[in-house]
Amino acid sequence: MVLTIIKYNAGNIQSVLYALERIGVSATVTDHHEKIKSADKVIFPGVGEASTAMNYLKERNLDSVIKELKQPVLGICLGMQLMCRHSEENDTNCLGIFDENVKHFTNSPLGVGGKIPQIGWNNIYDLKSKLFEGVAENSYCYFVHGYYAALGEHTIATTNYIQPYSSALHKNNFYGVQFHPEKSATAGEQILKNFLEL
Amino acid sequence: MLTKRIIPCLDIKDGRTVKGTNFVNLRDAGDPVELGALYAQQGADELVFLDITATVEKRKTLSDLVNRIAHHINIPFTVGGGISSVEDVSVLLQNGADKISVNTSAFKRPRLVNELSKEFGSQCVVLAIDTKKEEDGEWYVYLNGGRTKTDAKCFEWAKQAVDLGAGEILLTSMNHDGTKQGFALDITRTLSTKLPVPVIASGGGGTMEHFVDVFEKAEADAALAASIFHFKEITIPDLKQYLSKQNIVVRN
């Protein structure tokens, strides 16, 4: 199986590579269009800022490459947010694969709603996908984010922070997770394994 | 719900874990990667690796170590100790660290916090503060591992650093560190309730009740400890089970 990680100007690629290595899988990190298109599976990771990342993808025509992929694609964190329609982070139009929009966490009087960004372990529930096979309802995953994807028809996992939001999305061959499976201990490893078996 | 976090801290010297109290009587405690992996397996939520090596080869040793940690550990980890530039941080993040912590260098040059948060995002910039309550009842900032007193008040500095882009505060009370008499609840609570970023309480955790207090009374987001875990006085699974029973949300 050829597994490709899309190389762009957003962090955490190394962490994803190492996590895959721990479950015995090697991957190629590349921004080469043909190599991405011909892979069996594609991971679209990311830690960073939405508008900078989108600009980078557009300049290299990676935006259209990603949208047209037919094999299973997994977006992680910012990767998932960029697969949505629009992000409030610097008013950015994203790839539009998922119809859901990305909003900023707001209205949290200190001590009531929570601090922003959310940093730490939170549970995922209403799990509705093969991606979560063998992952128990309310398993804890590691999150670091200030923006969230709203609930919608493509929601396959929900998490509650200030309000319920999409901690995972799925449409056709596209999957996205808001949390970091590569840093989410055994639950994260199971989710990565499931993705590789899709 | 977002859980409270339990964070073991590993002091590193020349690439090895050391155990000791207040930087004296250091004993070799083995490979940091193995110990870190053990804690991760036991349910630690994050790890902090604090490099106390003083030699010039430090930088290379540390980046190699960080790379090995990143290969083997499946939870987030922070690296601190002598970081003073964007380049230092870049190397550590490229080798797989999730966050870095800065202390003395940030106090001496606060713009560093700003540079780091702009370059890498606030989420990976942890500001570590060593603080001590003086006879006037105020908490002051100390530098250089607690050896140098400053006239700066802890809250003022923490607030300034958050405004500059620090994403998290690691607060160590020197009055409490090593005492096992409990965390500094007052200053931890002040920072945690008045600042918009998570606060990791450090120093003084000796019993499981102390952790309950720092989460409930001081509203800390995370609690860090070293020797009680290294010397197996409290194990992470026992601590988490206890916290759960006290209705504190933790990851089990």
Tens digits of residue pLDDT in A83-138: 999 999 999 999 999 999 999 988 555 445 578 889 999 999 999 999 999 999 99
Between B190 and B122, the more confident residue is B190
Q: Mean pLDDT, to the nearest integer, of B172-178?
A: 94
Mean pLDDT, all residues of chain A: 93
pLDDT score of B105 more than 50: yes
Amino acid letter for position B235: T
- DSSP assignment of B129-158 equals EEEEE-TTS-EEEEEGGGTEEEEEEHHHHH
Would you say residue B251 lies in a domain? no
Q: State the average pLDDT over residues A28-48.
A: 94
> How many domains, chain B?
1
The number of CA neighbours under 13 Å toward the Cβ of B35 is 26
Residue A41 pLDDT exceeds 80 = yes
Q: Could you tell me if B7 lies within 8 Å of chain A, comparing CB atoms? A: no
Residue B76 lies in a domain: yes
What is the pLDDT at residue A111?
A: 47
Check residue A70 and give its pLDDT. 98
Whether B56 has a pLDDT exceeding 90, the answer reads no
Answer whether residue B199 is part of any domain.
Answer: yes
pLDDT at A166: 98
**By C-alpha distance, which of B73, B81, B74, B75 is closest to B52?**
B81
Catalytic residue among B51, B88, B98, B130: B130
* Lowest mean pLDDT across A106-115, B36-45, B118-127, B206-215: A106-115
**B49-71 average pLDDT score:** 85
Query: Which of A3-12, A49-58, B16-25 is least confident?
Result: B16-25
Q: Which two tokens stand for residue A56?
A: 């980078």
pLDDT band for position B22 (50/70/90)?
low
Inter-chain touch B196–A111, beta carbons under 8 Å: no
Burial class (CB in 10 A: 0-12, 13-18, 19+), A178: buried
Q: Which residues of B touch A186 (CB under 8 A)?
A: 74
Distance of alpha carbon A81 from alpha carbon A61, whole angstroms:
18
pLDDT value at position B53? 79
CATH number of domain containing B174? 3.20.20.70
Q: pTM of the entire structure?
A: 0.94
Domains and CATH numbers, chain A: 3-197 (3.40.50.880)
Domain that holds residue B37: 5-245
* H/E element, B216: helix B208-216
List A148's β-bridge partners, or say none: A103
For residue B197, list chain A residues with Cβ-Cβ distance below 8 A.
115
From chain A, pick out residues whose CB is under 8 angstroms from the CB of B126: none
Sign of CA dihedral B186, B190, B193, B197: negative
B119 vs A: CB within 8 A = no
Please give the full DSSP string across B73-134, using - where no structure is assigned. Answer: --S-EEEESS--SHHHHHHHHHTT-SEEEE-HHHHH-THHHHHHHHHH-GGGEEEEEEEEE-
Annotated catalytic residues of A are 77, 180, 182
The pLDDT of residue B247 is 97
Chain A residue closest in CA terms to B69 = A18
pLDDT-derived band at B132 (thresholds 50, 70, 90) equals: very high
Model pLDDT, residue A109:
52
Mean pLDDT is lowest, of A13-27, A40-54, A100-114, A182-196, for: A100-114
* Shortest alpha-carbon distance between residue B98 and chain A (Å): 8
